[in-house]
Chain A
Amino acid sequence: DIQMTQSPSSLSASVGDRVTITCQASQDIRKHLNWYQQRPGKAPQLQIYDASNLGKEVPSRFSGSGSGTNYSLTITSLQPEDIATYYCQQYDTLPPLFGPGTTVDIK
């Protein structure tokens, strides 16, 4: 079975910092990877699909990259509203599987 890991599990950064979250699959997932943002007490929202495509109305400070087994979500200038848990999700092997999440807060 495919396994998904994310690192770090949590991080604290200052407003304006560049933040990068990584997601690793146990096998090549051929860019079949999505990212979701879940703000505290809210439902998840699609941020990035197919590894690097920005979701609808997602700010341009978010970007996704990667290939093979290694992927990343980058926030170029962290804003207070970006406080959330971020989940990656693969769909190269079905059923779809979410990573364990990375919690981002403000230092």
Chain B
Amino acid sequence: EVQLLESGGGVVRPGGSLRLSCVASGFTFDDYGMSWVRQIPGKGLEWVASINWNGGSTGYVNSVKGRFTISRDNAKNSLFLQMNSLRAEDTALYYCVRTPLGYCGGGYCYLFDLWGQGTLVPVSS
């Protein structure tokens, strides 16, 4: 079955760190760019970060630059998001998403054709 499965979410205090993981199955992982998209519960969607197929290019939304790092391990079909210096406004459901080749460039991916179920990150004291 083609799917993305996120893990690593949980309550974290402001200023804390968390590492999200996503394991892909059912498709050739390194044929795709990958991203994280987040959603404040009950609100809209926000692209957070992308990485190209080999990890050579990454891109971030301005609000997380310098705090979040996206990475991937193609041998393990895995995507990661290291989140440091977390803020209350980072509270959201974080989705792992896939992008076909041809829709990534300059570290940005911009077509999301497969989504995981999300992992919730509440940032609260």
Hey, which bits of chain A sit against chain B, CB under 8 A? 32, 34, 36, 42-46, 49, 55-56, 87, 89, 91, 94-101
Instruction: Give Cα A42 to B117, complex, Å.
Output: 7
Number of A-B contacts (CB under 8 A): 54
Q: Taking the complex as formed, is B10 at the interface, i.e. its CB lies under 8 A from any CB of chain A?
A: no
Instruction: Indicate whether A56 sits within 8 Å of B113 (C-beta atoms), given known contacts A43-B95, A43-B118, A44-B45.
Output: yes
Q: Is the interface of B mostly helix, strand, loop or mixed?
A: loop
Q: Taking the complex as formed, is B31 at the interface, i.e. its CB lies under 8 A from any CB of chain A?
A: no
Determine, out of B15-23, B71-79, B82-90, B104-112, the stretch whose residues face the partner at the interface.
B104-112
Instruction: Give Cα A87 to B39, complex, Å.
Output: 12
Q: Tell me, rounded to whole Å, the shortest Cβ–Cβ distance linking A64 to chain B.
A: 13
- Asked if B61 and A95 sit within 8 Å, CB to CB, the answer is yes
Instruction: Give Cα A94 to B44, complex, Å.
Output: 18
Instruction: Give Cα A45 to B59, complex, Å.
Output: 22
Q: Tell me, rounded to whole Å, the shortest Cβ–Cβ distance linking B35 to chain A.
A: 9
- Which residues of A sit under 8 angstroms from B46, Cβ to Cβ? 98
- Which residues of B sit under 8 angstroms from A46, Cβ to Cβ? 111-113
- Asked if A94 and B45 sit within 8 Å, CB to CB, the answer is no
Quick one: which of A42, A49, A87, A91 contacts B45, CB cutoff 8 A? A87
Please, could you name 26 A-B residue pairs with CB atoms under 8 Å apart, sorted by A? A32-B110, A36-B45, A43-B115, A43-B116, A43-B117, A43-B118, A44-B95, A46-B111, A46-B113, A49-B113, A55-B113, A89-B112, A91-B103, A91-B108, A94-B59, A94-B108, A94-B110, A95-B59, A95-B61, A95-B108, A97-B47, A98-B44, A98-B46, A100-B44, A101-B44, A101-B45
Instruction: Give Cα A89 to B26, complex, Å.
Output: 26
- Asked if A44 and B47 sit within 8 Å, CB to CB, the answer is no
- Which residues of B sit under 8 angstroms from A45, Cβ to Cβ? 115
Instruction: Give Cα A100 to B46, complex, Å.
Output: 10
